[in-house]
């Protein structure tokens, strides 16, 4: 029997920087978390940005008890106090760290309280109105700004940062310039982790797959097939009931006939 693997700590991850590229996935259900752990995934992240997501976090942790899971905090944290409360709440519910796309100002507040925080660099979907959806860092000015923002996150106390849609050669250089773990989402293989969303890997949405991602299954078609099977099964049930084919004798419990007659005789005829 295989022994359970050791659950990573932030200390462990920091010792692994530069040693190998860790596998990393964003999951949204206990089933996905359990599957990722069974497959040997190194790291996971999950939503923690709504009441429903916060209620789901303990289920994900229970499904993957030996995995390092980061909870993604809500967009629009209004104050350092709210950021700190949110971070501690995630840790109390079983998260190993928190992801936060807010400014270094809020990240520093959490980090001061020793909450492990992951920041975000490059193309940040929550701030896309400033950049549009595109690669970030293809010009000298943007690359220098990206380096500056990386250093600001590092100084704020983030132990890691997601690096999204950054040219792969620039990302590799940036990774060598920081003590933070850089988590590549569409930024090549020269970072400390390779990160994808479960929806991308499973092909579980009705959109064109992003260039940086790869679908290994077609769950969307499987969901559609299952829905067709649901409709067909329910229709067959309706038809069987209407035709008297369900329930069959094998579906029924029957009272002994003599005992039933005894009951009927002792109760008498019903009133008219």
112 & 181 share domain = yes
Catalytic residue at 92?
no
Q: Evaluate if pTM is beyond 0.75.
A: yes
Residue 272 lies in a domain: no
- The reported pLDDT for the residue numbered 208 is 84
- The reported pLDDT for the residue numbered 226 is 97
172 & 257 share domain = no
The boundaries of the domain holding residue 196 are: 10-217
Residue 142 lies in a domain: yes
Long-range CB contact pairs, 32-37, < 8 A, 24+: 32/198, 33/60, 33/61, 33/63, 33/64, 33/67, 33/69, 34/63, 34/64, 36/64, 36/67, 36/198, 37/63, 37/64, 37/65, 37/66, 37/67
Residue 4 lies in a domain: no
CA–CA distance, 263 with 242 (Å, rounded to integer): 31
CA–CA distance, 218 with 15 (Å, rounded to integer): 37
- The reported pLDDT for the residue numbered 257 is 95
Q: How many CB atoms lie within 10 A of CB 164?
A: 22
- The model's pLDDT over 241-259, given as tens digits with 9 standing for 90+, comes to 999 999 999 999 999 999 9
Pairing label, strands 160-164, 117-122: parallel
Catalytic residue, chosen from 164, 222, 248, 254, is 164
The C-alpha angle with vertex 87 and arms to 92 and 21, in degrees rounded to 5, equals 95
Tokens of 115: 């909450």
Residue 236 lies in a domain: yes
Residue 106 lies in a domain: yes
- The model's pLDDT over 208-220, given as tens digits with 9 standing for 90+, comes to 888 899 999 999 9
- The model's pLDDT over 218-230, given as tens digits with 9 standing for 90+, comes to 999 999 999 999 9
Q: How many CB atoms lie within 10 A of CB 53?
A: 16
- Is 149 in contact with 173 (CB distance < 8 Å)? no
Tally of structural domains, the chain: 2
145 & 236 share domain = no
204 & 76 share domain = yes
Higher pLDDT, 75 or 59: 59
40 & 100 share domain = yes
CATH code of residue 168? 3.20.20.60
- The reported pLDDT for the residue numbered 246 is 96
- The reported pLDDT for the residue numbered 207 is 79
122 & 239 share domain = no
55 & 109 share domain = yes
- The model's pLDDT over 100-110, given as tens digits with 9 standing for 90+, comes to 999 999 999 99
- Stated as kind and residue range, the H or E segment containing 31 is helix 30-39
Tell me how far CA of residue 248 lies from CA of 5, 25, 240, 252, 257, in angstroms. Answer: 50, 48, 10, 7, 18
For residue 5, name the pLDDT band (cuts at 50, 70, 90). confident
For residue 271, name the pLDDT band (cuts at 50, 70, 90). low
Q: Using alpha carbons, select from 200, 203, 202, 138 the residue that is nearest to residue 171.
A: 138
39 & 121 share domain = yes
Read off the DSSP letter of residue 7: P
Whether 272 has a pLDDT exceeding 60, the answer reads: no
- The reported pLDDT for the residue numbered 206 is 82
Residue 241 lies in a domain: yes
Cis peptide before 247 (omega within 30 of 0): yes
């Amino acid at each position: 029997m295989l022994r359970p693997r050791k659950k990573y700590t932030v200390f462990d991850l920091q010792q692994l920087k530069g040693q190998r590229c860790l596998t990393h996935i964003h999951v949204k259900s206990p089933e996905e978390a359990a599957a990722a752990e069974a497959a040997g995934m190194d790291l996971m992240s999950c939503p923690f940005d709504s009441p429903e997501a916060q209620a789901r976090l303990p289920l994900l942790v229970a499904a993957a008890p030996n995995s390092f899971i980061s909870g993604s905090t809500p967009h629009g944290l209004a104050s350092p106090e709210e950021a700190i409360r949110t971070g501690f709440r995630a840790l109390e519910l079983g998260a190993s760290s928190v992801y936060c796309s807010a400014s270094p100002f809020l990240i520093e507040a959490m980090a001061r309280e020793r909450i492990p925080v992951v920041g975000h660099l490059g193309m940040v979907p929550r701030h896309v109105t400033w950049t549009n959806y595109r690669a970030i860092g293809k010009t000298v000015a943007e690359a220098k700004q990206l380096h500056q923002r990386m250093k600001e996150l590092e100084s704020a106390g983030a132990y890691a940062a997601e690096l999204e849609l950054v040219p792969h050669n620039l990302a590799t250089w940036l990774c060598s310039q920081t003590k933070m773990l850089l988590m590549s989402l569409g930024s090549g293989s020269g970072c400390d982790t390779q990160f994808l969303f479960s929806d991308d890997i499973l092909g579980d949405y009705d959109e064109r797959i992003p260039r940086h991602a790869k679908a290994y299954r077609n769950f969307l078609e499987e969901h559609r097939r299952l829905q067709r099977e649901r409709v067909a099964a329910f229709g067959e049930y309706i038809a069987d009931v209407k035709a008297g084919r369900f329930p069959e004798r094998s579906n029924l419990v029957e009272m002994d006939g003599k005992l039933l007659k005894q009951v009927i005789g002792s109760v008498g005829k019903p009133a008219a």
